[in-house]
């Protein structure tokens, strides 16, 4: 194997040994990140963790930039200079889905080989993994083999509206993108394809009237919306991986009023980029059954799918080889959730996602990582930075 020619066979062993010796310190840093709560919708909290994290990467020799945002926290970019190879982007986010105060009922906890805490799996461990992969390369090789840009976004959990331009711009300068979102399953699988994600808002305007005195002149927006939801649900096509979920519904004012207004918020997922326009046409062509009502549709797919294409497979196969040299198997999976990796793949930059923590419970109360996997994940990241 070429890799074996370049590095002594003991290279993997010494890297793993180093990663194991770094584990206590890395977990200390991880705890400091978990205990800095950072819900996407709390700008000050995300700013604080971005500033703190910038300091951590600066201590490792990076040059950090905090891109201020109006609505969300800072976008954190850190650049490391390195050898002659083309630069690589390490992508992740600092925000979590957990509200401030969650820590009080879901504290950092180590139990039976698992470490629990809000955001630990999605994806504060991934941030620590990037940092310690860089440190490991510096210690073991005396420097970095290539320039590295670390991009940590403040708004991934709410659709990445503010950070998307940064993600795309920085990815374009790089040969590939490694995404340290959590891995999948007990064996820590990579995510070689992700569905595209979007949402629609379907608003119905009816004709209000008194439910007792004047029932017949009313046209209920609620009734109309209920009928439309039946239709919308039929857009789901499980065979082709298209799902449509009316997840939020609201409308009406009082029980004795025929509702003037009702709306539904609908989550959509597609497997292929080409499925989005057809789905969009179906939403746009919704017609009211009661002609006195009108329907307004807005939204669309905002994160195109990460398709399992050739570029991704090349990266995945390298990662799989590296993992096997490190002594473990690295499976691949396809998942329904989107990430910022969807953006970079969509603009044609080779992207490999799900390189982060092994664990479970993203967005759930049992969110945790598996402690024993920590050194291997750091080593995997380090070798990928070197090899790609
Ligand atoms: Zn995430």
Which CATH number belongs to the domain containing residue 267 in this structure?
Answer: 3.30.70.360
**Is 107 within 8 Å of 365 (Cβ atoms)?**
no
Question: Does 275 share its domain with 156?
Answer: no
Domain tally for the chain?
2
Could you tell me the distance, in angstroms and rounded to a whole number, from the CA of residue 130 to the centre of ligand 1? 14
Q: Is 239 exposed, middle or buried (0-12, 13-18, 19+ CB in 10 A)?
A: exposed
CA 184 to ligand 1 center in whole angstroms: 12
Q: How far is the CA of 362 from the centre of ligand 1 (A)?
A: 8
- Determine the distance separating the centroid of ligand 1 and the alpha carbon of 11, expressed in angstroms: 31
pLDDT, the chain, mean: 95
Read off the pLDDT of residues 272-306 as tens digits, 9 standing for 90 and up. 989 999 999 999 999 999 999 999 999 999 888 99
Q: Are residues 57 and 122 in the same domain?
A: yes
Question: Quick check: 243 pLDDT over 50?
Answer: yes
Distance 342 CA to ligand 1 centre (A): 12
Residue 220 CA to ligand 1 center (angstroms) comes to 40
CA of 90 to the centre of ligand 1 (A): 13
Q: 156: CA distance to ligand 1 center in Å? A: 7
| Ligand 1 midpoint to CA 95 (Å) | 8
96 alpha carbon – ligand 1 mean position (Å): 7
212 alpha carbon to ligand 1 midpoint, in Å? Answer: 51
- Say yes or no: 324 and 375 in one domain: yes
Give mean pLDDT, residues 328-351: 94
Cα–ligand 1 centroid distance for 339 (angstroms):
7
Q: What's the CA-to-centroid distance between 248 and ligand 1, angstroms?
A: 22
pLDDT digits (tens, 9 = 90+) for 212-228: 999 999 999 999 999 99
pLDDT for res 154: 98
- pLDDT score, position 9: 54
**1 vs 67, higher pLDDT:** 67
Q: What is the pTM of this model?
A: 0.88
Residue 40 CA to ligand 1 center (angstroms) comes to: 11
Q: Report the percent of the chain where pLDDT is more than 90.
A: 94
Q: How far is CA 257 from the centre of its chain?
A: 43
Pair 31, 145 in one domain? yes
Q: How many Å lie between the centroid of ligand 1 and the Cα of residue 154?
A: 11
Distance from Cα 260 to the centre of ligand 1, integer Å:
39
Task: Name the domain boundary from 282, 303, 324.
Answer: 303
* DSSP state, residue 120: I
Residues 298, 338, single domain; the answer is no
Q: How far is the CA of 181 from the centre of ligand 1 (A)?
A: 5
> Is 4 a residue whose pLDDT tops 60?
no
Whole-number pLDDT of residue 10: 73
Query: Which CATH number characterizes residue 88's domain?
Result: 3.40.630.10
One domain for residues 236 and 325: no
Q: Is the pLDDT of residue 6 over 80?
A: no
Going from the Cα of 123 to the center of ligand 1, the distance in angstroms, rounded, reads 5
CA of 219 to the centre of ligand 1 (A): 43
Handedness of CA 264, 305, 46, 190 (dihedral sign): positive
Which one of 303, 319, 336 terminates a domain?
303
- Looking at the predicted structure, is the pLDDT value of residue 2 above 70? no
Q: What's the CA gap between 15 and 21, in Å, rounded? A: 10
Is the confidence at residue 252, as pLDDT, over 80?
A: yes
Question: What range defines the domain where residue 109 resides?
Answer: 2-194+305-387
Measure 178 CA to ligand 1 centroid, in angstroms.
Answer: 13
Q: What is the pLDDT of residue 194?
A: 93
Residue at a domain's end among 303, 337, 365? 303
Is the pLDDT at 102 greater than 50? The verdict is yes
287 and 356 belong to one structural domain: no
Given pLDDT bands bounded at 50, 70 and 90, which one contains residue 32? very high
Shared domain check, 8 and 144: yes
Indicate if the alpha-carbon torsion angle 27, 102, 119, 137 is positive or negative. negative
Kindly give the distance from the C-alpha atom of residue 78 to the centroid of ligand 1, in angstroms, as a whole number.
Answer: 19
Within this chain, do residues 112 and 8 fall inside the same structural domain, yes or no? yes
Residue 142 pLDDT > 50: yes
CA of 360 to the centre of ligand 1 (A): 12
> What is the token pair recorded at 333?
């999976």
Give the Cα separation of 317 and 30 in Å (integer).
29
Q: Are residues 223 and 342 in the same domain?
A: no
- Taking residues 358-365, report their average pLDDT: 95
Cβ proximity of 316 and 333 under 8 Å: no
| Greater pLDDT, 3 or 100 | 100
Ligand 1 mean position, distance from CA 286 (Å): 33
Residue 19, SS3 per DSSP? helix
**What pLDDT sits at residue 317?**
97
CA 371 to ligand 1 centroid distance, Å: 19
> Does one domain contain both 43 and 190?
yes
The answer to whether 60 touches 131, Cβ cutoff 8 Å, is yes
**155/3: higher pLDDT:** 155
- How many A from CA of 179 to the centre of ligand 1? 10
pLDDT score at 8: 47
Q: Tell whether 58 and 146 lie within a shared domain.
A: yes
């Amino acid at each position: 194997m070429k890799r074996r020619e370049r590095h002594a066979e003991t290279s993997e062993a010494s890297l793993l040994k180093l990663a194991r010796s770094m584990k206590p310190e890395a977990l200390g840093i991880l705890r400091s990140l978990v205990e800095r709560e950072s819900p996407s919708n709390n700008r000050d909290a995300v700013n604080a963790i971005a500033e703190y994290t910038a300091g951590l990467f600066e201590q490792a020799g990076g040059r950090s930039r905090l891109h201020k945002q109006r609505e969300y926290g800072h976008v954190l970019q850190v650049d490391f200079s390195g050898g002659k190879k083309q630069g690589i982007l390490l992508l992740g986010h600092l925000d979590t889905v957990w509200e401030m105060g969650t820590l009080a009922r879901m504290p950092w906890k180590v139990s039976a080989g698992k470490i629990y805490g809000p955001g630990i799996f999605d994806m504060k461990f991934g941030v620590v993994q990037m940092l310690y992969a860089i440190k490991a390369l510096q210690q073991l090789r005396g420097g970095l083999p290539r320039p590295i840009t670390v991009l940590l976004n403040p708004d991934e959990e709410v659709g990445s509206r503010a950070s998307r331009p940064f993600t795309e711009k920085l990815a374009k300068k790089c040969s590939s993108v490694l995404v340290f979102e959590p891995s999948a399953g007990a064996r820590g699988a990579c995510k070689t394809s992700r569905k595209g994600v979007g949402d629609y808002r379907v608003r119905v305007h009816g004709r209000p009237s008194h439910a007792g005195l004047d029932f017949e002149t009313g046209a209920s927006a609620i009734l109309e919306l209920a009928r439309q939801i039946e239709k919308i649900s039929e857009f789901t096509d499980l065979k082709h991986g298209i799902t449509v979920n009316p997840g939020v519904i609201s409308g009406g004012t009082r029980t004795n009023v025929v509702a003037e207004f009702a709306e539904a918020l609908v989550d959509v997922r597609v497997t292929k980029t080409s499925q989005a326009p057809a789905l969009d046409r179906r939403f746009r062509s919704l017609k009211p059954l009661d002609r006195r009502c009108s329907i307004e549709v807005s939204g669309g797919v905002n994160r195109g799918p990460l398709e399992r294409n050739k570029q991704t497979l090349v990266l995945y196969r390298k990662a799989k080889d590296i993992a096997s040299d490190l002594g473990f198997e690295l499976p691949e999976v396809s998942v329904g959730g989107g990430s910022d990796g969807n953006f970079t793949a969509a603009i044609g930059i080779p992207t490999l996602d799900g390189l982060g923590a092994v664990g479970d419970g993203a967005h759930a109360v049992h969110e945790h990582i598996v402690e024993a996997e920590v050194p291997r994940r750091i080593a995997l990241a380090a070798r990928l930075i070197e090899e790609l």
